[in-house]
Amino acid sequence: MDFISILSIFVMACFVGYYVVWSVTPALHTPLMAVTNAISSVIIVGALVASAEAVSPVAKYLGLLAVVFAAVNIFGGFAVTERMLAMYKKKERK
């Protein structure tokens, strides 16, 4: 992919993000932050690429360290979001 294609995806995604986030109900802003935290750890892809290559051992260990941090965030972020969302309940109508 050339730079302009990538840039196009980025710009379009910014607009998608803008409209999607405005539609998030304010009551769920804390879970929103937790889940954005989890998904921004998709940076683990870069960490995996770095740690898979054995050419530079330093780069490999930096990559592995990044994998650990990103994994903390992915598992922690999704789990804590799940925990919070499970607490949002409607009024019971008797």
Residues 7 to 26 in contact with another protein, rule: CB under 8 A: 9-11, 13-14, 16-18, 20-26
| Residue 3 found at the interface with another protein (CB under 8 A) | yes
| Residue 91 found at the interface with another protein (CB under 8 A) | yes
The Cα 74–Cα 92 span in angstroms is: 33
The Cα 76–Cα 65 span in angstroms is: 16
The Cα 64–Cα 57 span in angstroms is: 10
Show contacts with another protein in window 17-76 (CB under 8 A).
17-18, 20-56, 58-60, 62-76
Smallest distance from the beta carbon of 71 to another protein, in angstroms?
3
| Residue 90 found at the interface with another protein (CB under 8 A) | yes
Secondary structure tally for the chain: helices H, strands E: 4, 0
